[in-house]
Chains A and B, each alone.
Chain A
Amino acid sequence: MMHTFLLENRAMWMRWYARMRRDLFSLVATLLQPVLWLVLFGSSLQNMVRGTVPGGDYLSFMTAAAFVMTVFNGGLNGGLELMFDRESGFFDRLLATPMHRVSFVTGRFSFVLAVTVAQGLLIIATAYILGVRYATGLAGIALTLVVGGLLGAAVTTVSIILAFVLRHHGQFFSIIAIVSLPVLFLSSALAPLDAMPGWLAAVARLNPLTHAIEAIRTLVIVGWDAGVLLQMGGLLAGVDALLLWLAARVLRRRLA
């Protein structure tokens, strides 16, 4: 059982990897936006906002946001391929094999998670080149990847659920277009929670992106603040648990 499950997921990884290798353009394009953010946005606002953000350095402040945005975008698009497989009939073709149906989902989920976290690491490297130094050093970077994994798991799960409940990929694109900007603005990505109007801060506090950003920002700027890290990590883990439960419910019916 375990052995066959691994064989199936290996086949899935082989497939996604082969496709990714041939489509480096998309891979780079996903990274371009956050890198531009860091380079242009971060540097141009550097002087204007000096002193008004925690730590005083906007580039350091923005690093967490750029990292989280990378993971968010990667995860949100992650389910799309599964939707295409359903639309093209390829999914049905796979169902005529002895594959455990859940492998279709776990293969994609694990692959997307690995790729997005790796992309996040590239963002951190870019920030490093631009002069950003982690207050918590290498261990902080490692923990950032864990936080990215927790957030990526949540977003990818949402994306995969969408891939199974929506009728066609047009709806998928619409949802991504509608959702991604507000989710970003309703988080602490661009401004610290304290600097937001009360209602906005209240909404932002419920946003898993905020949880990830606050945790990472602490690691970059402040240092080892166990209180913040545990609280934000706990919230993210809670969101993950909730979404995985939901996914299990939704997918059990669709994969039956």
Chain B
Amino acid sequence: MDAIVVENIVKRFGSVEALRGVSFRVRRGEIFGLLGPNGAGKTTLIRTLLGLLRPAEGRVRIFDMDLERHPEAVHRFVGWVPQERAMDPFLTGRENLLFVAGLHHIPAREARDRVDGLLELVELTGAADRITRGYSGGMRRRLQLAMGLVHRPKVLLLDEPSLGLDVQTRRRMWWLIEKLRAGGTTVLITTHYLDEADALCDRVAIIEQGEIRGLDTPDALKQRYGGPPLLVLEWGEPGAHGRRQLIDSLKALPGVREVAERAGGVWVRGDDVVAVTRAVLAECERWGVTPARLSVRQPTLDDVFLAMTGASLKESTEEMSA
């Protein structure tokens, strides 16, 4: 039995079609990533899974319970860490947790023990009795995580858990998420950070404009859609002598699929990375160009994204948030 089954969900906001027939299954005990740019429909999907939005079509099952007929399944099984601020800024961290515990009908005594444990888990014991308005972004995120765990959910929905966190705090968050998974929790996380999806997720669904464009393990996605590895050649000292001819001859090499000029260098993509490297070096010699650096870049999820949607996730995300 899968933890979450999503079948053909369609959701419209007026004329905006936020989800256009989304289907996937989240297996028990896995970390499942929904990767997509701003406005792709990630939050809409999460809110649909929570029963906060009613889809026009399709259905959701959580641990084999149909959401339409058993909305209480959400409350029993699902924990949620929303994208936006979702705590009372005038309560302390501890009070926020106790409040949510009360709404989950956890008796006061047990709630106190659980809250202590959660504060420890997310390393907020020291700040537990401070008003959350004064919390840093990372502390807030960790408190929200704890608030989503109060009722010990079997599935955790994390909407952009590391949005706006610095590298170190993000790693800490990943560590926490992995720890939860190790304890048997199923995790569905949305993100537009490629490295997050890559590092954390067992399987990733790429979502764009309300549609799933691909779904697999990060490695399989990269192998299937990411294309062959990329040879990155960086020019050394200034002086363009021979470079033009080199580029033209690289384009004519057998086995080379793509040659792209970039600031400070050139990218070469070919099927057999070893053969291409040899040939490229020979051509350099021939035209008297000495590259400063030569490196091989394995395909990333961004390449996958580019191949699937024709847009770089990095660029589209930056554009949208600019």
Contacts and interface: CB of A to CB of B under 8 A. Distances in A.
Interface of A: 3-4, 7-8, 10-12, 14-15, 18-19, 22-23, 88-90, 92-99, 103
16 contacts: A8-B102, A10-B102, A11-B101, A14-B95, A14-B102, A18-B91, A22-B131, A89-B85, A92-B52, A93-B80, A93-B82, A93-B147, A96-B75, A97-B103, A98-B72, A99-B103
Contacts of B95: 14-15, 18
Contacts of B151: 97
Interface in B264-296: none
A15 B102 CA distance: 10
Highest count of chain A CB atoms <10 Å: which of B74, B95, B105? B105
Contacts of A18: 90-92, 95
B88 interface: yes
Interface string B73-99: 011101010101111101110010011
Contacts of A97: 75, 100, 103-104, 151
Highest count of chain B CB atoms <10 Å: which of A11, A22, A99? A11
B105 A7 contact: yes
Interface residues of B, number: 31
A46 B76 CA distance: 64
Given A7-B105, A15-B99, A93-B80, A98 B91 contact: no
Contacts of A99: 103
Interface of B: 47, 50, 52, 72, 74-76, 78, 80, 82, 84-88, 90-92, 95, 98-105, 107, 131, 147, 151
Nearest to B144: A93
Contacts of B80: 93, 96
If over half of A's interface residues share one DSSP class (helix, strand or loop), that class is named, otherwise mixed; here it is: helix
A93 B91 CA distance: 15
A10 B108 CA distance: 10
B91 A11 contact: no
A103 to B, nearest CB: 8
Contact of A11 (B90, B92, B103): B103
A23 B82 CA distance: 27
A127 B291 CA distance: 91
A52 B235 CA distance: 99
Contacts of B99: 11, 14-15
A95 B52 contact: yes
A90 B104 CA distance: 15
Task: Please provide the 10 A-B residue pairs with the shortest distance between their CB atoms, ordered closest to farther.
Answer: A11-B102, A98-B75, A93-B86, A97-B103, A99-B103, A4-B105, A19-B90, A96-B80, A89-B84, A15-B99
B37 to A, nearest CB: 21
A15 B50 contact: no
B203 to A, nearest CB: 24
A96 B72 CA distance: 9
A10 B98 CA distance: 11
Contacts of A12: 102
B88 A98 contact: no
A18 B52 CA distance: 28
